[in-house]
């Protein structure tokens, strides 16, 4: 697991009272993992297109059978976070999810609000896994954007295909060119000047041509007064960069493995001060004593203080205590703190490693859930949110977040309690069709129990796509026996009478 913190000063001109508000309103996946095509429009997609407003609470859950594309969305968003943050996409994590014919494309639509202006932005990227170099390349990128007046004004677009992934192009000094349907708007601007060296740099580092430290320096340290188009595009690039680095957190399922090893508990944290934002994943040592840098110790103390306030409301009489045993300096003069971590419940103390998986999962996520509840800038993505958490408690948490959270939460889950606490429009279902992986349910009446409606849909259909690759449950036991005996030519299926009784029982 990647344990890290990021403490970043606010962007130039950005203050706590005037921050970039960015919201993901649509995701499209093309040839990514087991998704040939998938399209998810989030809660405020229509509100942004029609009224340029965030009008809905933004909680969306993805449900479906195993291997049907839920985690693909989480992984695609993690790749997006890497791109916007200006860091390399980890090859060994994602190379097997990309198509081998350069056809993997991720498309994201954002709503952005900053300094009284509103923007709609689409960012497209085509990815390629270079097996020889063991790197993931960004072959082509495109930004399309609209600025809000009385309506969404004329779109602008800027597309860039980096030629320097091919060594011959560098040797032959191939010209770097942007493409746009409004090229006059970008001619002789700081955005498109001097990109030859930047393109080489991005090809070598496998970074986005738009979202990287050199581009940000180029935009913030210019001397001349920007044109209107320069100013708009500069705001968009800086806003999406700020979102990726400061407010966008993806919690993948691999954190569960680290929790279950009982060595460390990854605590996902978000904290603000007057001039900076800290976002990260800090290690909470569970197995006896452990050393951590003093700066992390101080950050953890603050995070645990906030966690304990909320934790007592969720699990009565439970708190976490991070204790400093001693402090010492290493050879470089850096200070480290030897710590122990205890759970305290009803006056009894024990190492946090002995807590249940569900409690550790709650502790791991709680600081970020607190931030999601309070800050509209936060976007939190969680894979298998329900893992280890008591069904009723999961429902209550989702209910509170759906009613009151200011930020955006996208999660995957198998526990159907969410169907009883969220509106059916908050649920996206995966399908068995790789060409149309994500749909919302239709046809639910007011008197339908949402959970029963979903189960009935899985069993008898009624949607535009099949939600479940039906295994004839009546045959599972016999299939186990057949597998043991080595029989290969027997087929078992439901009788018509059994199917009829099943439908009657559900209704």
pTM higher than the cut 0.95: no
Render pLDDT for 227-243 as a digit per residue (tens, 0 to 9): 888 889 899 999 999 99
pLDDT at site 12: 46
pLDDT at site 254: 74
pLDDT at site 169: 67
Among 147, 172, 155, 163, smallest CA distance to 209 is for 163
Render pLDDT for 52-78 as a digit per residue (tens, 0 to 9): 999 999 999 999 988 889 999 999 999
Q: Degrees (nearest 5) of the Cα angle 412, 414, 415?
A: 115
Q: Residue 396: is it exposed, middle or buried by C-beta count within 10 angstroms (0-12/13-18/19+)?
A: middle
What's the per-residue H, E or C state across 290-347?
EEEEHHHHHHHHHHHHHHHHHHHHHCCCEEEEEEEEEEEECCCCCEEEEEEEEEEECC
Regions of the chain where pLDDT drops below 70: 1-18, 167-171, 173, 194, 223, 255-264, 273-278, 280, 282-283, 285-288, 470-475, 486-507
pLDDT at site 5: 46
Among 290, 291, 295, smallest CA distance to 280 is for 295
Spatial distance between the Cα atoms of 456 and 89, rounded to a whole number of angstroms: 41
pLDDT at site 4: 44
pLDDT at site 304: 85
pLDDT at site 36: 95
Tokens of residue 147, six digits: 């600025």
pLDDT at site 143: 96
């Amino acid at each position: 697991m990647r344990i890290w913190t990021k403490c970043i000063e606010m962007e130039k001109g950005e203050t706590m009272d005037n921050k970039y508000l960015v919201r993901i309103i649509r995701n499209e996946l093309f040839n990514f993992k087991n998704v040939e095509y998938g399209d998810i429009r989030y809660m405020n997609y229509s509100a942004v297109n029609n009224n340029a407003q965030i009008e809905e609470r933004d909680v969306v859950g993805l449900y479906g059978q195993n291997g049907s594309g839920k985690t693909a969305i989480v992984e695609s968003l993690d790749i997006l976070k890497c791109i916007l943050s200006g860091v390399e996409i980890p090859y060994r994590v994602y190379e097997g999810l990309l198509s081998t014919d350069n056809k993997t494309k991720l498309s994201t639509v954002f709503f952005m609000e900053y300094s009284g202006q509103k923007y709609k932005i689409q960012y497209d990227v085509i990815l390629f896994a270079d097996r020889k170099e063991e790197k993931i390349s960004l072959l082509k990128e495109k930004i399309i954007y609209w600025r809000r007046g009385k309506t969404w004004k004329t779109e602008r677009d800027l597309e860039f295909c980096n030629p320097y992934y091919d060594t011959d192009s560098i040797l032959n000094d191939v010209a770097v060119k942007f493409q746009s349907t409004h090229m006059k708007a970008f001619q002789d601007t700081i955005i498109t000047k001097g990109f030859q060296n930047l393109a080489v740099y991005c090809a070598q580092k496998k970074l986005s041509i738009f979202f990287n430290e050199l581009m940000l320096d180029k935009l913030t340290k210019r001397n001349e007064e920007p044109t209107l188009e320069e100013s708009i595009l500069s705001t968009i690039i800086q806003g999406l960069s700020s979102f990726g680095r400061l407010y966008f957190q993806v919690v993948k399922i691999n954190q569960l493995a680290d929790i279950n090893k009982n060595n460390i508990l990854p605590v996902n944290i978000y904290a603000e001060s007057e001039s900076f934002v800290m976002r990260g994943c800090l290690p909470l040592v569970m197995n006896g004593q452990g050393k951590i840098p003093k700066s992390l110790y101080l950050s953890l103390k603050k995070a645990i203080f906030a966690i304990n306030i909320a934790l007592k409301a969720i699990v009565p009489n439970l708190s976490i205590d991070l204790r400093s045993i001693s402090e010492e300096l290493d050879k470089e003069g850096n200070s480290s703190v030897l710590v122990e971590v205890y759970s305290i419940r009803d006056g009894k103390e024990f190492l946090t490693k002995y807590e249940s998986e569900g409690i550790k999962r709650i502790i791991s996520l709680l600081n970020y859930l607190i931030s999601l509840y309070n800050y509209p800038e936060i976007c939190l993505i969680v894979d298998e949110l329900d893992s280890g958490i008591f069904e009723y408690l999961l429902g209550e948490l989702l209910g509170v977040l759906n009613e009151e959270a200011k930020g955006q939460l996208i999660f995957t889950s198998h526990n159907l309690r969410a169907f009883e606490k969220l509106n059916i429009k908050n649920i996206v279902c995966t399908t068995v069709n790789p060409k149309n992986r994500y749909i919302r349910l239709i046809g639910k009446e007011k008197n339908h129990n949402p959970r029963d409606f979903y189960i009935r849909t899985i069993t008898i259909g009624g949607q535009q796509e099949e939600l479940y690759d039906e295994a004839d449950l009546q045959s599972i036991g016999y299939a186990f026996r057949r597998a043991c005996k080595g029989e290969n030519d027997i087929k078992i299926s439901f009788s018509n009478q059994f199917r009829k009784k099943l439908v009657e029982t559900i209704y």
